[in-house]
Structure 1
């Protein structure tokens, strides 16, 4: 059996995970009803969808568009640069920072004003500075949407005003965007700021965040963006963190969005718990391997699980005998692969003692 040496390692025992006792409390799932045309709840690290309602439908999204604008400003701009406000930006309709043509404002303050006060003039100024024009910036928005995997989105402006019927997205796509944007610490800080003084603006204004969950209505909220137009209705994006797990909620055309978001967060936090499934460490030699042949897991893997799902995990490892293909560890939840990771092979003259993998190596089957 060992001579075949196309070793498939299947973990049949799930005690590799150390579950804190508090995470084993049983919570009954309860039915969810929102006021939204579409809604979604995802976990921000893995992107796992915990709840969805018409989440892939193309719809107008109003000012939550500005999450993309701010994301691109952080990624492609220098926040300390000064931006000269154009006549076109200064007369943009809708919510405004009341910027004047010829005025110079730091890109950082423009992004704060964009996310906290939803300034449409700020959105145009950012687009012109980062992209060269609103049209070129819209192209950049669509390129980034494609890169992220936003399949039901198309952008034609940086603010979300209803200028045409070609500007749209979905709650799923906006959750993907928020997940990506939150990876940047500068974006995350601005996204979650309750108030900001625009030091580069003369006279310096004091901006308070319009998002009520962020400013105190929900204690676990870590950031968010509001939106509204007559055609789009109320749109809202919020992130929240509890017990080491960050969740993202997006609703589109929701008349009771504040409460919708709180309800979805509470559902997520009560029923799912962030679980460490793989930890970076070295796997000791398996049967049939050279005693100096080791494989290393380099990246941790965490995933939100319900209590019931904790008993449905398996881990499989495949190592080819000729080493032409990199060895792989796959994590399955109820026979569905939720994560794959390549192992790094190394030969050691003086092998060190094995790590966490040795705790359950006796529970492994080989064939």
Structure 2
């Protein structure tokens, strides 16, 4: 009995040690800090909040998993009319999916993000045969009905702290997303190919299905780019899990570290852009990951820093001082490691301030 009691105490102690503590409650509405995948500190980690352009992490993940990144995409009128941060794409221009992916991640360009999502959404329905959609990278099939079920399940959730998008009313966007779902779930006759009438809606279905596969219980998407919508939300814990999936893709792990872009359209027009993430310039070992800002979401950030083989990941949702607080949390996290784990970090160069 004594042995069993002792083992129970050890299990409880281990569980308490593994649970992150809310040591810095004032840094953000919700936050998450981990070292090498081990949670260190967190506050309101499961609260559902708007995510702004952190949405693009899922969009990028699906794009890479879909594959065919070197195919050319024609910019639609809808993509060219996107608001917020833009690359300046024009209707009818053609860029590769790879370049659109880079623009969406590095510059957080909504026009590039929408063009990327629509190209994949259109392709998904164009390859529907006997009600089955096949992933071009893995070859595994998923029925359109299964995807619809994933969306129906996540649609039963309600968001916390989200407000309407400043572009359109919540009612208008909700109606549009309802129509998106109907168009995206339509089955093609056996043995035929069709082109979706709503590629954005089809892509959003895939976003929610992928979120379900990753176990993101507090995440729901209505838009691939991150515009404010009461039905689009995530949690700090879910974003940490999504970030692991993104970093596991070499194409994405490299893309989020880029500071500048120089892209060329099929017609030869050159487009230049710089990252929205100043940590890449000023924080030693910064490796990305994504920034986001909207009226409802506030200032958001997922930061990844690597030093001497150790990785710190910080997620901030609605953080008024995201740059300074993220730097502080990163440094505190590395300081919390045993001395030998961070030995030499201070001598490897770099400036911990944000320029």
TM over 0.5: yes
Q: How does 1:183-262 map to 2 (within 5 A)?
A: 183-200=248-265, 202-214=268-280, 216-262=281-327
Cα distance per residue 1:170-210 (max 9 Å; x no partner): 11111110111100110000011111211336421221111
**4+ runs deviating over 4 angstroms:** none
1:73 touches 1:130 (CA, 8 Å); kept in 2?
A: yes
* Cα deviation 1:213-258 (Å, max 9, x = unaligned): 01x1211211121111111111111111011012211101111001
Q: Which residue in 1 is equivalent to 2:91?
A: 101
Q: In the aligned structure 2, how far is the partner of 1:32 from the partner of 1:52?
A: 8
Q: Where is the strand percentage greater, Structure 1 or Structure 2?
A: 1
SS in 2 for 1:205: strand
CA distance in 2, matches of 1:65, 1:43: 23
- Is the Cα–Cα contact under 8 Å of residues 316 and 322 in structure 2 kept in the other structure? yes
- Give yes or no for contact 1:179–1:248 (8 Å, CA) kept in 2: no
Check the 8 A contact 1:245/1:273 in 2, yes or no: no
- Per mean C-alpha deviation after superposition, the further-off stretch among 200-209 and 229-238 is 200-209
Choose which of 44, 50, 57 in structure 1 pairs with 2:47.
57
With the length of structure 2 as denominator, give the TM-score of the two structures: 0.65
Structure 2 unaligned residues grouped into runs of 5+: 1-20, 123-198, 342-355
Equivalent residue for 1:143, pick from 179, 202, 209:
209
Q: Specify the SS of the correspondent of 1:175.
A: helix
Deviations 1:61-81 (A, max 9, x none): 101111111111111132211
Matched, 1:181 2:171: no
Change (3 A) 1:274 1:102: farther
Match of 1:48 among 38, 42, 48: 38
1:36 to 25, 28, 40: 28
Quick one: distance in 1 between partners of 2:284 and 2:332?
15
Structure (1/2) with the larger helix percentage? 2
Cα distance between partner residues in 1 of 2:69 and 2:338: 36
Partner of 2:166: none
Cα offset, 1:116, TM superposition = 1.4
TM-superposed CA distance for 1:33, in Å, is: 5.0
| 1:86 corresponds to which of 76, 79, 103 | 76
Question: What residue number does 2:219 align with?
Answer: 153
User: Is the 1:113–1:119 contact (alpha carbons within 8 Å) kept by the matching residues of 2?
Assistant: yes
For residues 226 and 30 of structure 1, what CA distance do their matches in structure 2 show?
A: 23
Q: Kindly state the Cα deviation for residue 103 of structure 1 after the two structures are TM-superposed.
A: 0.7
Q: What are the within-5 Å matches in structure 2 for residues 335-350 of structure 1? A: none
Q: Which residue of 2 aligns with 1:67?
A: 57
**How far does the alpha carbon of each residue in 1:91-125 deviate from its partner, in whole angstroms, 9 at most, with x for none?**
01111111111110011110111011111111111
- Contact preservation (8 Å) 2:23, 2:41: no
Measure, in 2, the Cα distance between the counterparts of 1:271 and 1:212. 24
* Secondary structure of 1:101's aligned partner: coil
What are the ranges of 5 or more consecutive residues in structure 1 without an aligned counterpart? 1-28, 276-303, 305-367
1:261 Cα offset (Å): 1.0
State the 1:128 CA deviation: 0.9
Shift of 1:48: 1.8
Which residue of the partner structure matches residue 129 of structure 2?
A: none
Separation of aligned partners in 2, 1:73 and 1:31: 37
The answer as to whether partners of 2:239 and 2:315 remain within 8 angstroms in 1 is yes
Q: Separation in 1 of the partners of 2:32 and 2:214?
A: 17
Find the counterpart in structure 2 of residue 320 from structure 1: none
- 1:273/1:97 CA distance change after superposition, 3 Å: farther
* Whole-angstrom distance in 1 between the partners of 2:90 and 2:339: 47
CA-to-partner distance for each residue in 1:308-352, whole Å, 9 max, x for gaps?
Answer: xxxxxxxxxxxxxxxxxxxxxxxxxxxxxxxxxxxxxxxxxxxxx
Taking the aligned partners of 1:274 and 1:198, their CA distance within structure 2 comes to 44
Measured in 1, the distance between the counterparts of 2:282 and 2:25 equals 20
Q: Provide the C-alpha distance between the structure 2 equivalents of 1:34 and 1:67, rounded to a whole number of angstroms.
A: 25
Query: Secondary structure at the residue paired with 1:207?
Result: strand
Three-state SS of the structure 2 residue aligned to 1:198 is: strand
Asked whether the equivalents of residues 87 and 273 of structure 2 are also in contact (C-alpha less than 8 Å), the reply is: no
